[in-house]
Every structure is written in structure tokens, then in C-alpha cells.
A and B are shown apart, each in its own frame.
Chain A
Amino acid sequence: MIRARALEKRYGDKRILRGIELDVGADDFLLVTGPNGSGKTTLLRLCAGLAAPTRGDFELGVSRGRIGYVAHEPLVYRELTALENLDLYGRLYRISERRERIGMLLERFGLWDARHERVASYSRGMLQRLALCRAFLHEPDLLLLDEPYSGLDGEGALVLDRELTERAPRTAFVVATHEPERLRRHATDLLALA
């Protein structure tokens, strides 16, 4: 699904990534670790097609609409409610039976009761749950998660655990984290950036 050879990414004079080799199959789970500033986020942005590699071969064998992406930012409008945000993305991703699907996800992530509240009033943990809903909305084939546990409370983390376990056999994952213990059991492959 993702194949990279001698991948290099630089912004101006600054080299962020160098000599990256990647092979991610349709049911692989790649865990990307490394300290802050080691290029984890940049690598995920490359995989999402949001950034272009400076050098090297890079093939992304999945269309844009089949990628789910959880970034640092939740990628939702603060002035809209959770329901309105997901409805917008549901329309853009052309999801059939949008309402049912959104309702189910909100229920599963424990946001159903807060669905009519503006996102600006959400706590950090609720925002992260909403970001996950947004990424799972269209049942993507490739999930790119950037520090997915950040901000989640104990209960939210358990929900995410369950989701990952359920999806891992049929979804390709690239997950960036600086504390890999919690995800190690899913991982089929490990990439340590320095």
C-alpha cells in the first residue's frame, strides 16, 4: 500500500527525513517511534499525500478518499457542533446512510450526548475522540495516526484499543508515537526515527 525507497524530505536547508525505506501492506501495522522533532509527523504527512517527497521513490497505492488521518489538530471547526462537523465530512466523503453512521460512531466514542455542543467547548480528550470519529467515518483502508492516545482519558483509550484491535486485520496502519508500549502488541513492523 505504501512503498518508499531512499525517501528524503527537506524544507529549504533543513533536512527532516533521510534514507527512509517503507513497505506497508494492506494489513500491516507500522509503528513509527522517535523523539520530538525526528520527523514522525512529516512522515505521516507524506503518507497522506499532504507533503511531497524531496527525493527518492514513493508510491502510495491507495486513493485519497480511502485514507483516514488523525493529526495533532483535530481538523474540525471549533464553531460548529460535532454533528455538523461530521456531517460536512460525511458529505465530502459521500458516505451512504450518513446519519446512521455518524450516530453510531458518536455513540461508540461516548460523544452522543455532546453532539449538539460547539466543539469549542470540548475538552482535549473529547476533541481527540472527535478526531478519531472523523478519521474512522469512511471506513478507510489506510489509517495514519499521529499520537492517537494524546489527550485521551482512561475510558477513551480503552475505546481506541478496542477499535484498533478490531480494525488491525483489515486495515493498514501507520502510527506515530513517542511511547510505543501501548501499541506494541498490534505492530507488525517498527520504524525508529532519530
Chain B
Amino acid sequence: MNYLADVGALARKDLLLELRARDTLPAMLLFVVSALVVFHFVLPAGSSDLAATGLLWVALLFTALLGLSRAFAAEREQGVIDGLVLAPSDRSAIWLGKALSILAFLALAELIALPAFALFFRHIDGTLIGGVALADVGIAAVGTLLAAMAAASRARELLLPLLFLPLAIPIVVGGVGASVADDPARYLGLLGLYDALFAIICWASFEYVVTE
């Protein structure tokens, strides 16, 4: 129970920070809508709806990257990460709290992005939304850990997309498959498997990322 209380306190702090500073979420929203508008001009006349669906996943992925690149900005810039690491709570709570707040940002950004996509391009169905939800979990889990790694490096934000994109390929396959294939169940399964596997190793290894 104490563990969950720690996670809650940390996630609440992130939401409070965002409410106060409004750094991340407005940027994510504006970015995802801008990207969708750009995609209209990327797709020549006669392109299939399938191509638009594929591009939707590009937009979602890069919007997530935008949010993730700011995930540990407050902690690193002000050295607060040392304060959190010193606290007696399990270090993985720092990861889980951050991942939950990232997940919330992603969900809010998609609350705008998906209706906008439906308005601009094509209708969206239940499996697409299910795919997006499952993909969000994986993106938040892996992305948060990689963001902590990138924050510890000299290259900072520059490094995050390089670390993240190769790991995001299975997410993209699962997401696009769930949106366009005839048998979405197996793609949702892939996403679920990805989420479970990577959430476990992120949870278990986060401590090593923030300590020596």
C-alpha cells in the first residue's frame, strides 16, 4: 500500500507541475494536430485510407517522443532526482509515477488527435482505439525509462529518439496491424505481450538507471 501511495504522490506531483508550468501537454496537442495537417499534404490524391492510418501512428509516436523528451527535465535541471533517489521509497516508484503521468498526457493528446483524425481522414473503430490504448502503455513504460537514461547523458533530448525508435518498431507493427489488418486480435496480442515484457524489465531495472 505504501508503494502505491508513493507512486500516487509522485504522479500527482507531475500533474501539478504540468498544471502550473503548462510545458508539455499544449505542445503535444499542437504538434499532433499540426502533424495531421501536414499529412494531408503528404498524401497525394487517390492515396488509400490505409496510408493515412499508417501516418496516424507516425504522428502518435512522435507526439509521444515530444512529451517524453521533457519527462525528466524538471528533475535533471534542478537536481531533484537526487532528492527522489534518496527518499526511502522503492526507486521503481519514481519510474511508475512518471510513466503514469506520461500515460495521462498521451491519453489527453489522443483525445484530441483521434477525433481530429476521424474528421480529416477516415472513421476510426474500436480496434484502432484498443490498439492505441495498448500502445500507449508500452510507449509510456519504455519511453520513461529511456528518457531517464537520455537525461543522464550529455546529449540529453537528442539521444532519446535514437534510443526509442528501434524499440518502438514492434509497437508500430502491433498498432498498424490492429488498425488495418483483418485479424486485429493477434496484433493486439503482440502489443499486450510487448507491454507486459517491457514493463517488467523497466520496473526491475529502473533503479540501476538512477543510481551508481
Contacts and interface: CB of A to CB of B under 8 A. Distances in A.
A17 to B, nearest CB: 14
Given A75-B79, A80-B16, 15 more contacts: A48-B86, A50-B212, A69-B82, A69-B86, A77-B17, A77-B80, A78-B74, A80-B17, A84-B16, A88-B10, A92-B6, A92-B87, A92-B88, A92-B89, A94-B2
The 7 closest A-B pairs by CB, nearest first: A65-B88, A73-B79, A75-B83, A92-B87, A91-B9, A52-B212, A79-B20
B9 A71 contact: no
Interface in B1-52: 2, 5-6, 9-10, 13, 16-17, 20-21
B20 A80 contact: yes
A109 interface: no
Interface in A114-163: 118, 134
A91 B5 contact: yes
Contacts of B16: 80, 84
Nearest to A81: B20
Given A92-B6, A118-B20, A79 B74 contact: yes
State the main secondary structure of chain B at its contact with A.
Answer: helix
A131 B17 CA distance: 19
B88 A50 contact: no
Contacts of A77: 13, 17, 74, 78, 80
Given A75-B80, A78-B78, A89 B87 contact: yes
A71 B21 contact: no
A52 B207 CA distance: 14
Contact of A75 (B2, B6, B82, B211): B82
Nearest to B210: A50
